[in-house]
A = this chain, B = another copy of it.
Amino acid sequence: MIKVAINGYGTIGKRVADAVAAQPDMEVVGVSKTKPSAEAYVARQRGYPLYIAEMSKRQAFEDAGLEIAGDVTDMIKHADVVVDATPGGIGEKNKKLYELYGVKAIWQGGEDHEVAGFSFCSSCNYNEAKNRQFVRVVSCNTTGLCRIIHAMDERYGVGRVRATMVRRGSDPGEIKKGPVDAIVLNPVKVPSHHGPDVQTVLPQIDITTMAMIVPTTFMHMHALQMDLKSDATKEEILAIIEAHPRMGLVRPGTGITSTAELREYAQDLGRPRADLYESAIFADSIGLVGRELFLFQAIHQEADVVVENVDAIRAMMNAVDEAAVSIEMTNRALGFTAI
């Protein structure tokens, strides 16, 4: 059993913990919180040992009826791999600790590529992650872009890729972040950082991206255009997506045309937390104008990287040789089938 610690039990961390716990070859040895909150009670309900960043806060946790197993250093000592899901920028500061204890560590896309020196996407570069001490799983948006671009590139070759990302303003459980009624260019400057971030995984791709933020809470939407280098048909592309373990088709029969209906459907199908680990590509949106491909894909900002973290653990531990096998194990353990 691979021993996994989750440093930062928040939006991503709590999902990674559950995904790890569901795997047959892994166990959660601990999760960490900085202060008592609703999520600390969730950790207790799940039975994850709870560690805290600063022992000076021990009393506050105990007053809230939450038992503390130790501090983050204690947690790390029990782990083969630490998944660092602390807020963007904090993760980098933890690097010294991981080096000191010689533990493997995974950062999220909120950190720079340089923190790990290697950026990961399961279906793109699993093999290159093998035996590494440090890996960075790219952000939700970058993961969504890499999956489809790599799949198209493998089959047809891909020329220039142009994407507009319409991002959610805040996560569903947040109450302080906006905007309430605005479209915000973020950044105003074109291109946005998402293109170079894709290139940390797929360096050869010519990609330019634009990004904005809108007042919604669930999922980003990508309007994607890419030039293919050879002829394709819509049927082929539908088949590639259908066969891909991390992309799903939103089928016209469902009548779904929005992120809200997609969440409702995920919830109805029993997905925990309505999580969509796969990119949700709208089948009807796939359009080919000559060799130019257009499509819309919705990306669940809280979920799509969760499964990537699980595969990254296996690659770093060299526990499973083939990407496809790890991906299949991860998916099966979470019981997810195409929507």
Residues on A lying within 8 angstroms of B by beta carbon are 14, 36-39, 41-42, 45, 64-65, 162, 164, 166, 168-170, 172-186, 188-191, 208, 210, 212, 214-219, 221, 223, 225, 252-261, 263-265, 267-270, 272-274, 282, 284-287, 289, 292, 294-296, 298
Contact = CB atoms under 8 A, between A and B. Distances in A.
Nearest to A221: B183
B217 A214 contact: no
B178 A170 contact: yes
A49 B248 CA distance: 27
Contact of A260 (B164, B179, B219, B263): B179
A222 B63 CA distance: 30
Interface residue SS majority, chain A: mixed
A180 B180 contact: yes
A221 B212 contact: yes
29 contacts: A36-B255, A38-B256, A38-B261, A42-B269, A64-B253, A162-B162, A164-B166, A164-B223, A166-B166, A170-B180, A175-B179, A176-B178, A179-B180, A179-B258, A179-B260, A180-B216, A180-B217, A182-B258, A182-B260, A183-B298, A186-B257, A188-B282, A188-B284, A208-B292, A210-B285, A215-B216, A267-B273, A267-B274, A274-B274
Nearest to A210: B223
Contacts of A259: 182-184
| Number of copies of chain A assembled together | 4
A287 to B, nearest CB: 4
Contacts of A181: 172, 180-181, 215-218, 260
Contacts of A41: 253-254
Contact of A177 (B180, B214, B272): B180
Nearest to A206: B289
A64 B251 CA distance: 10
Given A38-B265, A178-B180, 18 more contacts: A36-B255, A38-B261, A41-B253, A42-B269, A173-B263, A174-B180, A180-B215, A182-B216, A182-B258, A182-B260, A183-B214, A185-B285, A190-B285, A191-B289, A208-B225, A210-B223, A267-B274, A274-B274
A208 to B, nearest CB: 6
Contacts of A221: 183, 185, 212
A292 B225 CA distance: 14
Contacts of A287: 189-191
A214 B166 contact: yes
A210 B222 CA distance: 10
A258 B37 contact: no
A175 B260 contact: yes
Contacts of A189: 284-285, 287
Nearest to A39: B268
A136 to B, nearest CB: 26
Nearest to A265: B38
B268 A270 contact: no
Contacts of A185: 221, 257-258, 282, 285, 296
